Amino acid sequence: MEKERSGCALTGIMNERGRRFGGEAIIKSIAAMHERSNGLGGGFAAYGIYPEYRDLYAFHLFYSDEKVKGETEEYLDRNYSIQKDEPIPFRRVERIKQPPLIWRYFLKVKAERLNEHHTLTEEDFVVKTVMEINTTIDGAFIFSSGKNMGIFKGVGFPEDIGSFYRLEDYEGHTWIGHGRFPTNSAAWWGGAHPFGLLDWSVAHNGEISSYGINRRFLLNYGYHCTLFTDTEVMVYLFDLLGRKHRLNFDVIAKILAAPFWDEIDRLEGFELEFAKALRITYSSALVNGPFSVIVGYGRGMVGLNDRLKLRPLVAGRMGDMLYISSEECGIREVCHSPDKIWSPKAGEPVIGRLMD
């Protein structure tokens, strides 16, 4: 059987003034692209949903059983002050089968633990926690670890996953959604999109043929790929380049979807030298293969596709609202007459930012 290489649905909705709205819109948008999924994965990321805990890290975890949960909580209790923990609310949905234990924690890093790891920032310490739990505690998986945001995902069609997690009960200023059509990896709850680390979340359509070299490059900076899918490298690349190296999204786009050398050779002056420096310095961060991604973070949302535009991506604006989707129908389903709608060029980022 020939593989389907154009599947997966992406959608993102953001209010750039920070106005919060319910999860019904993102579910309606992703459901309009139902045929781009096959029921083996769906998920959402939402920002601004935990205002009462905005200064705490919100960890969302999957557990295989209560024993693993107890072991993980011992680890968390040694390193964090647990302000609140509870099962993530859900409702029974007929097509959602055998969910794991799904729990959330609102945490503050213990000062004494940071003092013991004085070379790490607080965010680095959280990254260390995610990597350690996901690689050393079998049956435990942190799939969301940011502040005032959360990822909700699982095995099923995305509209069923949205209903399962009762997303209509949440309000956020930015939502991204994903409907999965897996080609190279197994379907499991942790392998559904979006993938997250700190407040980054990434929904991806396509294949990353450079996964091996990207993974080895990231390992040099302490990022361990454990999720059996190529998409994982994308969220770590955004964390490394955006948070650690403090690059803006226009520069990150020039690294991940770098222009070809013949294009660079046609540049002049500073643009030529800068493009050459990026290609040389970050050669192992170049993402090859057909892809489009929508990236959420605490202050905004970004859309990007590969340097040949081998995967679709459409953007639209209506007043303070920014929409990004795999297809125009994903936008028009929730915004019938946008002020502007366009198809970004290959490697050209669509950037939405919260207004101060």
Residue 240: Cβ-neighbour burial (10 angstroms; 0-12, 13-18, 19+) = buried
Cis before 194 (ω within 30): yes
List, in order, residues 6 or more apart from 36 with CB less than 8 Å away. Answer: 7, 8, 9, 179, 181, 326, 327
Paired tokens of 60: 């969302």
Residue 107: Cβ-neighbour burial (10 angstroms; 0-12, 13-18, 19+) = buried
Euclidean distance between CA atoms 176 and 172, whole angstroms: 11
Dihedrals phi, psi of 198, to nearest 5 degrees? 50, -135
Residue 251: Cβ-neighbour burial (10 angstroms; 0-12, 13-18, 19+) = middle
The catalytic residues are 8
The β-bridge partners of 107 are 57, 82
